[in-house]
């Protein structure tokens, strides 16, 4: 079985197709075009546990009051069906062509276990949040801002490294935070950086630390990551949809928002980050247990305009099918 149509690669489109038996690009496919083919999206930062809170989200709460320690979100998580909420988020991700989810999981070990019971067809990397005793559940550390966790950040980072896990940290989301203490922890990636200075970004580039931005979620709170400057400096970037209660877990929605709000950024670059995000992080060394996820599979998108890029970013475009590599 084959899909025929232009296939997006990091170099641009190739007029070929996909052999669905082995998920590989192939030649010599006869017949009419099926649509536009892209690698499955990488959603590099999510909080799927609160997806079910979207309909009851209160208006006009600050970032701290909504998602900070003891905030509205955490009270909602304590009193609602988190398994159902995660499943809602996974369905959104699956039907919108996402092959990789990097989820920050609240709720300690129990929170990780709830996620693991669902048969998500793609790849999920689950980042544990600290328990009351500071023990890291799982292998990967998902750390709130250093101001929130204090000395726990160092303990969690050490535990993740001992377990060959990844380390991700929220930073400079709602206000500027100093970068030096963060760099000392040597995380794999930083999330947000809405209020980072050019010097901060250059320091991260020099330290080989990757960055994930979540423009829709940031915009909800009146923040804006300096994505143009991040690209100019050459940072290794990924996109995330962040809290499921605020934004859909749909990477097409995310890249359309970026197109409209960052008009100077080339559409190829936006799509490249969405499909091949954190490429440098996943390929730091040949011994990394974090395989290159660009081969997770492919999504088939409807064609709405003659131009491939304009068609993908059109609000009318639909995901017609997805194929995950086994």
What mean pLDDT comes out for the span 97-110? 87
User: Superfamily for 40-290?
Assistant: Metal-dependent hydrolases (3.20.20.140)
Sequence spans of domains, the chain? 40-290
Predicted model pTM = 0.94
Task: Please say whether the dihedral angle defined by the alpha carbons of residues 311, 312, 318 and 322, taken in this order, is positive or negative.
Answer: positive
Which of 21-30, 55-64, 123-132, 237-246: highest mean pLDDT? 237-246
For 281-325, the pLDDT digits (tens) are 988 765 444 545 556 899 999 999 999 999 999 999 999 999 887
Give the Cα separation of 297 and 82 in Å (integer).
28
Task: Please say whether the dihedral angle defined by the alpha carbons of residues 130, 135, 138 and 140, taken in this order, is positive or negative.
Answer: positive
- Confidence class for position 248, pLDDT limits 50, 70, 90: very high
Give the Cα separation of 169 and 261 in Å (integer).
25
Nearest Cα to 49, choosing from 77, 70, 75? 77
For 185-228, the pLDDT digits (tens) are 999 999 999 999 999 999 999 999 999 999 999 999 999 999 99
pLDDT of residue 132: 67
Kindly state the DSSP code that residue 129 receives in the 8-state scheme.
P
CB 7 within 8 A of CB 17: yes
Count of other CB atoms within 10 angstroms of residue 179? 22
pLDDT of residue 288: 47
């Amino acid at each position: 079985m084959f899909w025929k149509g232009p296939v997006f690669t990091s170099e641009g489109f190739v007029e070929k197709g996909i052999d669905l038996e082995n998920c590989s690009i192939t030649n010599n496919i006869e017949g009419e075009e099926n649509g536009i083919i892209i690698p499955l999206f990488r959603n590099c930062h999510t909080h799927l546990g609160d997806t079910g809170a979207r309909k009851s989200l209160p208006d006009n709460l600050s970032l701290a009051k909504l998602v900070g320690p003891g905030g509205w979100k955490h009270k909602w998580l304590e009193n609602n069906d988190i398994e159902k909420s995660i499943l809602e988020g996974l369905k959104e991700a699956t039907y919108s062509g996402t092959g990789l989810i990097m989820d920050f999981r609240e709720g300690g070990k129990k929170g990780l276990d709830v996620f693991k019971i669902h048969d998500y067809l793609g790849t999920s990397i689950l980042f544990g949040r600290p328990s009351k005793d500071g023990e890291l559940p799982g292998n990967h550390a998902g750390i709130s801002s250093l101001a929130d966790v204090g000395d726990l950040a160092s303990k969690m980072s050490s535990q993740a490294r001992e377990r060959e896990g990844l380390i991700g940290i929220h930073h400079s989301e709602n206000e500027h935070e100093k970068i030096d203490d963060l760099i000392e922890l040597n995380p794999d990636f930083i999330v947000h950086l809405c209020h980072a200075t050019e010097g901060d970004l250059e320091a991260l580039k020099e330290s080989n630390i990757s960055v994930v931005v979540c423009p829709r979620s940031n915009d909800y709170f009146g923040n804006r990551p300096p994505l143009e400057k991040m690209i100019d400096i050459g940072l290794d970037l990924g996109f995330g949809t962040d809290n499921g209660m605020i934004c859909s877990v749909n990477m097409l929605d995310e890249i359309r928002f970026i197109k409209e709000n960052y008009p100077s950024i080339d559409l190829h670059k936006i799509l490249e980050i969405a499909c091949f995000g954190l490429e440098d992080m996943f390929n730091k060394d040949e011994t990394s247990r974090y395989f290159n996820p660009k081969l997770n599979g492919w999504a088939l998108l409807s064609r709405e305009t003659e131009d491939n890029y304009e068609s993908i970013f059109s609000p009318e475009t639909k995901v017609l099918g997805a194929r995950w590599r086994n």
